Amino acid sequence: MNAYQPRLADHDFILLDVLQAPQTLAALPALAEHADPDLLRQVLEEAGKFVGEVVAPLNREGDEVGAQWRDGAVTMPPGFRDAYQAFWQAGWPSLACAVEDGGQGLPAVLEAQLYEMLSAANHGWTMAPGLLHGAYECIKHHASDALKATYLEKVATGEWLATMCLTEPHAGSDLGLVRTKAVPLPNDSESRFALSGTKIFISGGEHDLSDNIVHLVLARLPDSPPGPKGLSLFLVPKFYSDGSRSAVVCERIEEKMGLHGSPTCVMRFDEAPGWIVGEPGKGLNAMFVMMNAARLHVGLQGIGLLEAAWQKADAYAQERRQMRAPGSASNAGEADVIALHPAMRRILDTQRAWIDAGRVIGYRTALELDTLKHHPDAARREAAARWCSLVTPVLKSAWTEQAFSGASACLQVFGGHGYVREWGIEQHVRDARVAMIYEGTNEIQAIDLLLRKVLPDGATALRTLLAELAVELGDSPAAARTREAMARLARFTGEHLLPHTQAAGAAADTPYWLADDYLRALALVLMAWAWSRIGATAGADAGRWSQAQAGFWRWIWPEFEMRLGMLENGLTPA
């Protein structure tokens, strides 16, 4: 079975035709010079070539051999280091970093697509550079000039890789419980702190891909208050500038369900000297600056993983013959290809409907990130911030969920052959499972959406977003259906949910019980919007898009009605 290969025509259609990215970029002075379809297409083409030729072929062995720990050192699977060295030297990590920091200053939407393709090709390998851009933003916006002088360009270009050291054994979703300590080093000329503690689940905490590793570490200063407000952020490198090694040890790597190409490290800090990044007690703020981008990337991972699984299942379904399909008039031997069997068609079209709509929403989110950063008009930046804030948790949660359940559906296309390793499809199921957990579990995303983004402002942002989306719809039957659904979700939120939660004596837990269904309902509304836009763009000659479009309305969309009913019932439990 062939490895994943990017299908660039699909990317181009969504980015250039459906979303008309060049128009968006043309309004951003810093990016206007890249608002050229040919240039965007060319970058994607080069990216696709690198991904397909260099990264994708390493995926299988990356899973089978895995990262190997020995005496604190981690050896990456065959070919991983060479591919990474070629990757950063070709300038891919710095695609969307500022030119003055050694980057190329290209739009974030290109980086988003690059990482979608990389995740599809080799999820394990991609974990290593996956954190770079966040670390770059974090250092750029919060570190001192002295720290930036040493670390910013190295991280921007990817010459040195980076980690985020947050989780501890007792502190996962609840970072307020973090115990790692940072004690000021007396008489240190660089005003450093000694960090002590154990961090777990550190992706790429140790490896042989790059010559140095830059750890960003959440820790607690002496006498800091308990809880999240007592957390500060620190930078501890594997090697200091003088070549000496820091007191940071990789104690072991985890045995995992999948993602074997990425070492998940237990990192012990033994009074390791490091610098504070940003202000004391503002550690979470400094990390959250990169949260929207990181969550968007996890959502795009979901899309990439699903595309990879779909490619395998689709190819198999076009080849494997079992039984005659109902109503088959084929003359080809005793059995038809299983792609003609309705149950298999449904699986394949359903995944395509998720992938295509996910790309519309994901690439649009990346364009909104570009807009947020670069648009001269404050109102437009505010609208972009609204989009990112509301849509990102939905994309992260719903598309990582689908990456797992959809990869499992693709496995089903192979029958028993899917359960054995031979065809490689089961690796996608195992790899995809982690994305529902990291960067905030999907349950946390749902709480973030409803409790932090929708309810606090009286649903104003949500209603504004839906109104803006409605404007972009044409007047097809699909558009009308989408508009009606938007109106119903807005009405439920404003006329039922809000008054309910604001009523005197309202139970504090009601919205927590509804959060998952609410996120799901919004995901479906966004998908309906995306498919209305694809339909309007593809037009009557929808070709390759028409099957997935029909699949969306038939097999995915009915869930909206169910979720809305569950939300309504949730306000008046039996």
Q: Binding marks (x or -) toward a copy of itself, 237..276, rule CB under 8 A?
A: -----------------xxxxxx----x------------
Find the binder of a copy of itself among 55, 139, 165, 344 (CB under 8 A).
344
Among the listed residues 493, 398, 487, the one whose alpha carbon sits nearest the alpha carbon of residue 455 = 493
Minimum CB separation from a copy of itself for residue 461, in Å? Answer: 22
190 tagged catalytic: no
Minimum CB separation from a copy of itself for residue 97, in Å? Answer: 29
For position 430 contacting a copy of itself by CB under 8 A, the verdict is: yes
For position 73 contacting a copy of itself by CB under 8 A, the verdict is: no
For position 428 contacting a copy of itself by CB under 8 A, the verdict is: no
For position 21 contacting a copy of itself by CB under 8 A, the verdict is: no
Catalytic, out of 439, 443, 472, 568: 439
Scanning 104-112, 190-198, 352-360, 502-510 for contacts with a copy of itself by CB under 8 A, the matching segment is: 502-510
Find the binder of a copy of itself among 335, 487, 538, 542 (CB under 8 A).
335
Find the binder of a copy of itself among 7, 421, 452, 491 (CB under 8 A).
421
- What is the DSSP code string of 18-69? IS-HHHHHHT-TTTGGG--HHHHHHHHHHHHHHIIIIIGGGHHHHHHH--EE
Query: What CA–CA distance (Å, rounded) separates 178 from 197?
Result: 9
Q: Tell me how many residues contact a copy of itself (CB under 8 A).
A: 80
Residue (272 or 515) nearer to a copy of itself, CB: 515
Question: Between residue 156 and residue 195, which ones bind a copy of itself under the rule CB under 8 A?
Answer: 167, 170-174, 176-177
Find the binder of a copy of itself among 226, 243, 505, 539 (CB under 8 A).
226
Residue (81 or 324) nearer to a copy of itself, CB: 324
Minimum CB separation from a copy of itself for residue 59, in Å? Answer: 16
Q: Could you count the other beta carbons within 10 Å of the beta carbon of residue 487?
A: 14
For position 420 contacting a copy of itself by CB under 8 A, the verdict is: yes
Find the binder of a copy of itself among 227, 376, 458, 474 (CB under 8 A).
227
Distant-in-sequence, close-in-space partners of 498: CB < 8 Å, separation ≥ 6: 455, 458, 459
Question: Between residue 347 and residue 386, which ones bind a copy of itself under the rule CB under 8 A?
Answer: none
Scanning 122-130, 146-154, 320-328, 485-493 for contacts with a copy of itself by CB under 8 A, the matching segment is: 320-328
The values of phi and psi at residue 265, to 5°, are -105, 145
For position 416 contacting a copy of itself by CB under 8 A, the verdict is: yes
Query: What CA–CA distance (Å, rounded) separates 59 from 73?
Result: 22
- Give the pair of three-digit tokens for residue 534: 């694809």
Minimum CB separation from a copy of itself for residue 201, in Å? Answer: 5
Query: What CA–CA distance (Å, rounded) separates 271 from 281?
Result: 20
Find the binder of a copy of itself among 346, 380, 488, 500 (CB under 8 A).
346
End-to-end CA distance of the chain: give it in Å, rounded. Answer: 52
Cα-Cα-Cα-Cα dihedral of 136, 140, 143, 149, to 10°? 90
Find the binder of a copy of itself among 78, 456, 474, 565 (CB under 8 A).
565
Find the binder of a copy of itself among 434, 450, 462, 489 (CB under 8 A).
434
Residue (307 or 426) nearer to a copy of itself, CB: 426
Distant-in-sequence, close-in-space partners of 391: CB < 8 Å, separation ≥ 6: 361, 364, 365, 368, 465, 526
Find the binder of a copy of itself among 130, 217, 516, 548 (CB under 8 A).
516
Q: Binding marks (x or -) toward a copy of itself, 444..483, rule CB under 8 A?
A: --xx-----------------------------x------
Find the binder of a copy of itself among 72, 342, 376, 499 (CB under 8 A).
342
- What is the DSSP code string of 484-544? HHHHHHHHIIIIIIHHHHHSTT--TTHHHHHHHHHHHHHHHHHHHHHHHHHHHHH-S--GG
Query: What CA–CA distance (Å, rounded) separates 402 from 359?
Result: 13
CA distances from 268 to 131, 277, 325, 509 (A): 20, 20, 59, 38
Residue (78 or 565) nearer to a copy of itself, CB: 565
Scanning 50-58, 66-74, 527-535, 563-571 for contacts with a copy of itself by CB under 8 A, the matching segment is: 563-571
Residue (456 or 558) nearer to a copy of itself, CB: 558
Residue (183 or 335) nearer to a copy of itself, CB: 335
Find the binder of a copy of itself among 224, 285, 441, 501 (CB under 8 A).
441
Task: Give Dmax over CA atoms of the chain in angstroms.
Answer: 86
β 193-203/264-277 pair status = antiparallel
Distant-in-sequence, close-in-space partners of 31: CB < 8 Å, separation ≥ 6: 25, 105, 106, 107, 370, 374
- Give the pair of three-digit tokens for residue 548: 């997935």
The pairs formed by 372-376 with CB atoms below 8 angstroms and a separation of 24 or more are: 373/30, 373/108, 374/28, 374/29, 374/30, 374/31, 375/27, 375/28, 376/29
Question: Between residue 192 and residue 221, which ones bind a copy of itself under the rule CB under 8 A?
Answer: 200-201
Question: Between residue 531 and residue 560, which ones bind a copy of itself under the rule CB under 8 A?
Answer: 550, 553-555, 558-559
Scanning 22-30, 378-386, 387-395, 509-517 for contacts with a copy of itself by CB under 8 A, the matching segment is: 509-517
Among the listed residues 185, 184, 183, 165, the one whose alpha carbon sits nearest the alpha carbon of residue 175 = 165
The pairs formed by 16-23 with CB atoms below 8 angstroms and a separation of 24 or more are: 16/40, 16/41, 17/537, 18/360, 18/533, 18/534, 18/537, 19/360, 19/363, 19/364, 19/367, 21/107, 21/109, 21/363, 21/367
Catalytic residues: 439
